[in-house]
Amino acid sequence: MTNLIVEISKYLMAVLFACYTYECFAVFRGRLNEEQKNRIFRRQTVFMYLIHLDAYLVIYAVTDNVMTIAFYVFQVIFMAVTISCYHLVYPGASRLLVNNMCMLLVTGFIMLTRLSFEKAVRQCLIALAAMVATLVIPFLIRRVHFVRRLTWLYAVAGIGTLLLVAAFGATSYGAKLSLSIAGISIQPSEFIKIIFVFFVAGMLYEKTDFRQVCITTVIAAVHVLILVASRDLGGALIFFVTYLLMLYVATRKIFYLAGGVLAGSIAAVVAYYLFAHVRVRVLAWSDPLGVIENEGFQISQSLFAIGTGGWFGMGLYQGMPEKIPVVEQDFMFSAISEEMGGIFALCLLMVCVSCFLMFLNVAMQMKEQFYKLVALGLGIVYGFQVFLTVGGVTKFIPSTGVTLPLVSYGGSSLLATMIVFAIIQGLYILRQDEGKSNGTKRTKRKKTGFDEKIEELS
Partner 1 sequence: MKKLKSFPDKGKKAKKGKKNREFAVVTYSFLGAFLCLMGYFVYFQFVESEQFINSPYNKRQELFTRNVIRGEIYSADGVTLAETLVDEQGNETRSYPYGRIFSHVIGYSTRGRSGVEEMANFSLLRSNLFYVEKAVSQIKGEKSPGDSVTTTLDYDVQLCAFDALGRYDGAVVVMEPKTGKILAMVSKPDFDPNTIASDWDEIVGEEGESSALLNRATQGLYPPGSTFKIFTTLAYIRQNSDYEDYSYQCTGKFTHENKTIHCHGNKRHGTQTLKEAFANSCNSAYASLGLELDIAEFGEMCDGLLFNTGLPTTFESSKSSFVLSEEDLASAVMETSIGQGKTLVTPLHMALITSAIANDGVLMTPYVIDHTTDNEGNPVEQYEPKEYQTLFTAEEAAILKEYMQAVVEEGTASKLSNDVYDVYGKTGSAEFSSSSDSSHSWFVGYAHQEGREDIAVAVIVEDSGVGSEYAVPIAREIFDEYYIGEE
Residues at the interface with partner 1 (CB under 8 A): 3-4, 7-8, 11, 245, 248-249, 252, 289, 292, 300, 303-308, 310-312, 314, 318-320, 323, 338, 342, 345-346, 349-350, 353, 356-357, 360, 363-364, 372, 376, 380, 383-384, 387, 390-391, 394-396, 454-458
Q: What angle do CA 305, 114, 310 make, to 5 degrees?
A: 25
* Nearer of residues 191 and 248 to partner 1, judged by Cβ: 248
Shortest approach of partner 1 to residue 93 CB, angstroms? 22
Rounded distance, CA 298 to CA 300, Å?
5
* Nearer of residues 375 and 429 to partner 1, judged by Cβ: 375
Shortest approach of partner 1 to residue 136 CB, angstroms? 28
Shortest approach of partner 1 to residue 167 CB, angstroms? 35
Cα dihedral: 356, 360, 365, 371 (round 10) = 110
* Nearer of residues 51 and 357 to partner 1, judged by Cβ: 357
DSSP category for residue 169: P
* Nearer of residues 11 and 49 to partner 1, judged by Cβ: 11
Q: Which helix (H) or strand (E) holds 171?
A: strand 170-172
Nearest Cα neighbor of 371 from 292, 304, 424 is 424
Which segments of 90-209 does DSSP mark as H helices, in order?
95-115, 117-134, 137-143, 151-168, 188-204
The residues, ordered by sequence, that sit 6+ positions from 144 with a Cβ below 8 Å of its Cβ are none
What single-letter amino acid sits at 436? K
Shortest approach of partner 1 to residue 396 CB, angstroms? 5
* Nearer of residues 78 and 248 to partner 1, judged by Cβ: 248
* Nearer of residues 82 and 361 to partner 1, judged by Cβ: 361
Residue 450 Cα distances to 19, 361, 445, angstroms: 19, 7, 9
Could you tell me which residues are beta bridge partners of residue 180? 185
DSSP category for residue 172: E
Shortest approach of partner 1 to residue 395 CB, angstroms? 8
Q: How many CA atoms lie within 13 A of 118 on its CB side?
A: 0
* Nearer of residues 26 and 292 to partner 1, judged by Cβ: 292
* Nearer of residues 111 and 245 to partner 1, judged by Cβ: 245
Cα dihedral: 67, 340, 78, 121 (round 10) = 40
Could you tell me which residues are beta bridge partners of residue 170? 178
* Nearer of residues 188 and 313 to partner 1, judged by Cβ: 313
* Nearer of residues 227 and 366 to partner 1, judged by Cβ: 366
Question: How many other CB atoms are found less than 10 A from the CB of residue 391?
Answer: 15
Rounded distance, CA 221 to CA 243, Å?
9
* Nearer of residues 7 and 135 to partner 1, judged by Cβ: 7
Shortest approach of partner 1 to residue 63 CB, angstroms? 18
Supply the angle between the helices 117-134 and 66-89 in degrees, to the nearest 10: 10
Rg of the chain over CA atoms, in angstroms?
A: 22
Shortest approach of partner 1 to residue 394 CB, angstroms? 6
Would residue 426 be called left, alpha or beta, if left means φ above 0 and alpha means ψ between -120 and 50 degrees? alpha
Shortest approach of partner 1 to residue 306 CB, angstroms? 7
The residues, ordered by sequence, that sit 6+ positions from 29 with a Cβ below 8 Å of its Cβ are none
The residues, ordered by sequence, that sit 6+ positions from 57 with a Cβ below 8 Å of its Cβ are 5, 9
Shortest approach of partner 1 to residue 382 CB, angstroms? 10
* Nearer of residues 11 and 74 to partner 1, judged by Cβ: 11
Shortest approach of partner 1 to residue 298 CB, angstroms? 12
Q: What is the 3-state secondary structure (H, E, C) of 194-214?
A: HHHHHHHHHHHCCCCCHHHHH
Shortest approach of partner 1 to residue 434 CB, angstroms? 13
Shortest approach of partner 1 to residue 450 CB, angstroms? 12
